[in-house]
Amino acid sequence: MTEFAFTETVDVRYQDHDTMGHVNNAVYVTYMEQARFAYLTDGIGRAPTDLDMVVVNLSVDFNRPVEFADTVTVGASITHVGDTSFTMAYEVRDDDGVVATGETVQVALDPDTGQPRSVPDDWRRAIDAIEA
């Protein structure tokens, strides 16, 4: 398993399962979203109302299904910060190891215009501190 500077434990709910008895593939994106939200709010200290950004790209690779787990752990890391965007990598794990990996690209937005803006300097400093 890869080591991530930030991890989030996520409850696996009954409703997360599909008719085949395992966690539905779309739910993994929600698990990654929960980890991303925690990284940005708890990790870099942004208020939820100050997360002016959108996801512009998403990819997920599935290794195997999650069955009968109470929780999963999602590792999250910011792997690249550009001018207006940043890339996050994810690893979803259950007790038996890695079940899925993913990546998202987010673009920072100007809160007044909704247009792309540079990733704020305070975000960059906090990201550097987490990822060090």
Q: How confident is the model at residue 64 (pLDDT cuts 50, 70, 90)?
A: very high
- C-alpha distance from residue 124 to each of 54, 72, 84, 85, 92 (Å): 17, 28, 11, 11, 25
Q: What are the tens digits of pLDDT across the range 77-95?
A: 999 999 999 999 999 999 9
Reduce the DSSP state of residue 43 to 3 states and report it: helix
Buried b (16+ CB within 10 A) or exposed e, 35-71: bbbbbbeebbebeeeebebeeeeeebeeeebbeebee
Report percent pLDDT > 90 for the chain.
86
Q: 6-131: which CATH architecture?
A: Roll (3.10)
Q: What are the tens digits of pLDDT across the range 1-46?
A: 568 989 999 999 999 999 998 999 999 999 999 999 999 999 899 8
